[in-house]
Amino acid sequence: MAKTHVRNNIRVLRFQHGEMTQQALAEKVGVTRQTIVAIEKEKYSPSLEAAFKIAAVFGEPLDAVFSYEPGSR
Amino acid sequence: MTNLTETSMNMTFKEKSAWGSLVALALISYWFFPAAFNAASHASDPGRLVWLSIGCIVALIIMEGIYQSVIAAADGGGSDERDALINLKAERIAGYVLGIALFSLVGRIIAVEAFEVAETMTALTIAVSILFTLTVSEVAKLISQIAYYRFSA
């Protein structure tokens, strides 16, 4: 189960925003809950548009939510 | 049982749909292809093969239709960018499988005609073989989709 190089703080941010559920975040971003699960587990890198939407939901800049970690893969 | 329920809840509509299509296709193919190859090689009653094919396609459409309606009613259906990406990756793999299978079939036809290494394939046998390669490619696509949903992407 390979992880992507894109790291994120979505889980922490969800809890800081009134323990927002994955379903609630998914509905605000316009994706399925399973996609949010995959992004949180770093199994899937979202599109730039979805990443901006996620950051906007939390009212944070993109780089406060996502970061790139170059690896050996 | 709890694990099965949890796994089902963690599946998107598209993943559940892929599982349903795979099971339906496998069941129909398991019954259809032995009967079709048998009918094609004897070629005594080509009409039987046509009706067999039409019956299987109708059965497949009905099975998939019922299953898709049930799961769409349960979780609303819909898809997103991850579904689209997984579909594209699976289509690519299915394309490779289809290419390899068709080249193998063409190779076999040429070998049979040129070197007489086996019994000549009738037009009906070739037609059923092409249907078989299309089915194998579709199965490869569905398995790839499920694997991507389960293990990556």
CB A31 within 8 A of CB B79: no
Distance CA A6, CA A41 (A): 10
Quickly state the pLDDT bin for B129 (edges 50, 70, 90): very high
Burial class (CB in 10 A: 0-12, 13-18, 19+), B62: exposed
**How many Cβ atoms from other residues are within 10 Å of residue B117's Cβ?**
9
**How does DSSP classify residue B90?**
H
Decide: pTM greater than 0.90.
no
Q: Do A47 and B78 touch (CB under 8 A)?
A: no
| A68 phi/psi in degrees, rounded to 5 | -105, 130
Domain residue extents for chain A: 6-60
DSSP string, chain A: ----SEEE-HHHHHHHTTS--HHHHHHHHTS-HHHHHHHHTTSSPPPHHHHHHHHHHHT--HHHHEEE-----
A34 contact residues in B (CB cutoff 8 A) = 10-12, 15, 82
Quickly state the pLDDT bin for B71 (edges 50, 70, 90): confident
Q: Give the angle A8-B14-A62 at the CA atoms, nearest 5°.
A: 20
Determine the distance from the C-alpha atom of residue B87 to the mean position of all C-alpha atoms in its chain, rounded to a whole number: 15
Distance CA A30, CA A32 (A): 7
Residue ranges of chain A whose CB lies within 8 Å of a chain B CB: 1-2, 30-32, 34-35, 37-38, 43-44, 46-47, 50
Distance CA B54, CA A68 (A): 53
Q: Do A38 and B82 touch (CB under 8 A)?
A: yes
Q: Do A31 and B78 touch (CB under 8 A)?
A: no
Scanning chain B, the segments in alpha helix (DSSP H) are 2-9, 13-42, 46-75, 81-115, 123-151
**Paired tokens of B6:** 């949890």
Asked if B11 reaches chain A (Cβ–Cβ under 8 Å), the answer is: yes
Q: Do B80 and A1 touch (CB under 8 A)?
A: no
* CATH code, A6-60: 1.10.260.40
Quickly state the pLDDT bin for B27 (edges 50, 70, 90): very high
Q: Do A35 and B81 touch (CB under 8 A)?
A: yes
Digit-coded pLDDT (tens) for A6-36: 999 999 999 999 999 999 999 999 999 999 9
Q: Which pLDDT score is estimated for B69?
A: 87
Determine the distance from the C-alpha atom of residue A33 to the mean position of all C-alpha atoms in its chain, rounded to a whole number: 11
B13 contact residues in A (CB cutoff 8 A) = 32
Q: What is the mean pLDDT of residues B59-80?
A: 85
CB A54 within 8 A of CB A62: no
